Chain A
Amino acid sequence: MVKTKREGSVIFSEYKRGEAIKAALEKKREDILLELRESKVKGRGGAGFPTATKWMVVAASTAEIKYVICNADEGEPGTFKDRVLLVDYPELVFDGMVVAGYTIGASRGIVYLRGEYEYIRKPLEDYLESMRKDNLLGKNILGKEGFDFDISIRMGSGAYVCGEETALIESLEGNRGEARNKPPYPVNTGFFGRPTVVNNVETLAAVSHIVVKGGDWFRQHGTDKSTGSKLFSISGDCELPGVYELPWGTKLSELLTLVGAKNTKAIQVGGASGICLNKTQFDRTLAYEDAATGGSIMIFNGSRNMVHILKNFMEFFVEESCGQCTPCRIGNVKLLEGVKMIESGEYTFDYIEKLMELGRTMQVSSKCGLGQSSPNPFISILENFKDEIFNGNGGYNG
């Protein structure tokens, strides 16, 4: 595969293969954890859990067997940054996994790659093989007595919900990818019941840079609460779609200019499970504390029908709900029905209000992140585009 060289301040900054592993092996485990805490790096998948805290819990466990899992089940509509990282920068991700293994005391790492990315599996397997040859994987890595670590790749089979960490672990264990009850969290009871670190591809890539360049350096980028930079997957109505590395705190309006988006009506921040913002909200910033996202930004211009967009999102959730818990299984179907009613003009405002209520109930009562976030587009589109949907065009949107 052809690798593209990209420019960026943190993730895409200069890095040589093995650098992070070498730097980590010279440090004490506690110092790596402290460095991570200094950096204040948070999970890049979207949930934003502090990575240092996650690693500390697993590192503190006395269990003999521990696991590092790289969550490469990038299924959120509008997200493709992990594909770019794995194709163009596998060294960052795999080195990050080895560092994690060393820090928490694990000897096995697993990459859970989504089934749709089968075509990048072979290049990744080859890359792992070359790492083994250079003793960056295997026994006594880089001469460090007693540190063994190896990485294997496991494929998903087309289930969005497997991006949820406990569903992912279920899938790895050979089960249906249904989320587990939390607590206990994977840091205590993960893969095969052992303490497990599950990190997003981009988080591991960030870790590689932090170990080499330090937490202070990382913290110089971004905002106070959202440190470092973020890879954004930009798609939709713009001239230059693609993956952009931008510091946290970038305004949506700045981003629109950067990607050459014109006549923009709506921005869906955070994928199908994210929120849809209208023109008056384009001065909001991309950050965990404001408009949070795992990286997906979808841009829609004035010619797009918001009801059509919402219908597409709800169809997605109806299909991808695992069906385990009632709020998500039934709720999404009801919300989709509601969208279809709006589309055909056969609704009452009273019923729409009831559906909004249902959406808010799903947010608090669903078992996993899928059902908790699937009402987001429904609620935000109907709220932020109320005038267009219910009052524009004579109140008819079909």
Chain B
Amino acid sequence: MLILEKNAMTEEIEKLVEKYGPERSSLLPILQDIQRDHKSIPDFAQQEVARLLDIHPVEVFSVISFYSFLNTEPKGKFIVRLCQTITCDIKGKERIAQAIERELGISFGETTKDNKYTLEFANCLGMCDQGPAMLINDMVYANLTPEKAVKILKGVK
């Protein structure tokens, strides 16, 4: 990270700490905001959060590693989470997964080279009556077909 980038990150985290309060219980909201804006929580950000909340950086890493929506490695601008739980599965999740993989030229668990898309499987998204379903960042899309899924994916901005 460049010094300028580090300074910007520190400033950003200071604002978050001010917004949520310097308590341990603010840790998750702070990490969630960093995750949302940067698509990952880099080492430096973890250290800064730890410093400002007065806890050990290991504690911060430990929390990040627990939650599947938080990650330390960089991800694409659009994180695609396809539901893999049984009702979406029997309604054709596999076909959709294959169509998306073909279209983007990557497998699930990978990020496209232009850092635009990351493909992941997720557990039950709570759209079981309208499966198959996927999340793209925060938005949910249901009643997918392979064609529809690809179209939605290509259309996100």
Closest 4 pairs between A and B when the two form their complex, measured CB to CB: A174-B27, A235-B128, A157-B67, A241-B129
In the assembled complex, how far is the CB of residue A380 from the closest CB belonging to chain B, in whole angstroms? 14
Cβ of A309 < 8 Å from any Cβ of B?
yes
Cβ of B105 < 8 Å from any Cβ of A?
no
List 11 A-B residue pairs with CB atoms under 8 Å apart, sorted by A's residue number. Answer: A76-B124, A80-B128, A82-B126, A160-B123, A172-B25, A174-B25, A174-B27, A233-B128, A300-B90, A312-B84, A316-B85
Q: Is chain A's binding surface mostly helix, strand, loop or mixed? A: mixed
Cβ of B82 < 8 Å from any Cβ of A?
no
In the assembled complex, how far is the CB of residue A94 from the closest CB belonging to chain B, in whole angstroms? 20
Contacts of A369 in B (CB 8 A): none
Assess whether A234 is in contact with B129, with CB atoms less than 8 Å apart: yes
Assess whether A236 is in contact with B87, with CB atoms less than 8 Å apart: yes
In the assembled complex, how far is the CB of residue B129 from the closest CB belonging to chain A, in whole angstroms? 4
A80 vs B126: C-alpha distance when bound (angstroms): 5
A:69-104 near B, CB below 8 Å: 74-80, 82-83
Known pairs A83-B126, A298-B86 / 12 extra A-B pairs, C-beta < 8 Å: A79-B128, A115-B69, A116-B135, A118-B138, A119-B139, A157-B35, A158-B68, A159-B66, A174-B24, A174-B28, A175-B24, A176-B63
Interface flags for A153-167 (1: CB within 8 Å of B; 0: not) read 011111110000000
Given A177-B66, A235-B131, A241-B128, A320 contacting B123 (CB threshold 8 A): yes
Contact for B90 among A117, A172, A233, A236, CB less than 8 A: A236
Interface flags for B1-32 (1: CB within 8 Å of A; 0: not) read 00000000000000000000001111111011
Q: How many residues of B contact A (CB 8 A)?
A: 37
Assess whether B63 is in contact with A174, with CB atoms less than 8 Å apart: yes
A:286-329 near B, CB below 8 Å: 298, 300, 304, 309, 312-313, 316, 319-320, 322
A residues with CB within 8 A of B: 74-80, 82-83, 114-119, 154-160, 171-178, 192, 233-237, 241-243, 268, 272, 298, 300, 304, 309, 312-313, 316, 319-320, 322
A119 vs B28: C-alpha distance when bound (angstroms): 18
Cβ of B104 < 8 Å from any Cβ of A?
no
A123 vs B87: C-alpha distance when bound (angstroms): 27
